[in-house]
């Protein structure tokens, strides 16, 4: 039987921790750079780690920009993690002139340059649920998840905001629309709450 979740391998991110988290939930996941596998899998996960521009360049080199775009627009459950979430927007000030995937309108910006605010934002912080979405069905308002990032999105459409988090400013920590859920935090490193979120994502597979 083929895997239910394809985790996109484009040379960045801790892919196997995400794979193990899904397997812990009894959901078969495969780490792959094969476009056909990504386009046929019932669910797709786009992880990410490092700089926005480097990640887009790696996707392009692997020939995966269009397969990932099609997956996100296919109606099949799609999960973006950390920089994988940022790539879903149109651009990032981290990498001027580099277009993102453009699934969501808006751009990604750096945290304010405040000497009292340590950047990157690293460690445990709370999610404030702004609207109910399927991926968050088992997650409670105020639950803690694990972050490591210096940039966050500014969506043009406020209706896609699923959660916000406070760190010097209130920033958008996850977004959702139709089949796509994406967070700037790491569910695969967020222990019990992270597993609840991934369970919510696998429930989306069952409902699809």
Could you give the residue numbers annotated as active site? 82, 186, 188
Q: How far is CA 107 from CA 39, 182, 208, in A?
A: 26, 14, 29
What span, in angstroms and rounded, lies between the C-alpha atoms of 44 and 46?
7
Contact 184, 147 (CB under 8 A): yes
Which element (helix H / strand E) includes 32? strand 29-32
Q: Which helix (H) or strand (E) holds 24?
A: helix 15-24
Unique residue bearing structure tokens 């210096």: 150
* Closest of 17, 18, 97, 86 to residue 51, by C-alpha: 86
Among 87, 191, 184, which residue's Cα sits nearest to residue 139?
Answer: 191
Q: How far apart are CA 88 and CA 86, in angstroms?
A: 5
Strand, helix or coil for residue 173:
strand
């Amino acid at each position: 039987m083929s895997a239910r979740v394809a985790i996109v391998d484009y040379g960045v991110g801790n892919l196997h921790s995400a794979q193990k988290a899904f397997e812990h939930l009894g959901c078969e996941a495969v780490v792959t750079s094969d476009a056909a596998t990504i386009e046929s899998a019932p669910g797709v996960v786009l992880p990410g780690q490092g700089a926005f521009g480097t990640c887009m360049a790696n996707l392009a080199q692997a020939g995966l920009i269009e397969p990932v775009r099609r997956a996100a627009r296919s109606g099949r459950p799609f999960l973006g993690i950390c920089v994988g979430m940022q790539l879903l927007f149109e651009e990032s000030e981290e990498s001027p002139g580099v277009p993102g995937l453009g699934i969501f309108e808006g751009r990604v910006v750096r945290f304010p340059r405040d000497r009292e605010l340590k950047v990157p934002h690293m460690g445990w912080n709370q999610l404030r649920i702004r609207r109910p979405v399927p991926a968050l069905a088992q997650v409670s308002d105020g639950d803690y998840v694990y972050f490591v990032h210096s940039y966050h999105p500014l969506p043009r459409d406020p209706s896609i905001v699923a959660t916000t988090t406070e760190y010097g400013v209130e920033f958008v920590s996850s977004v959702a629309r139709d089949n796509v859920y994406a967070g700037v935090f790491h569910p695969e490193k967020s222990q019990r709450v992270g597993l609840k979120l991934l369970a919510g994502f696998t429930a989306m597979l069952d409902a699809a």
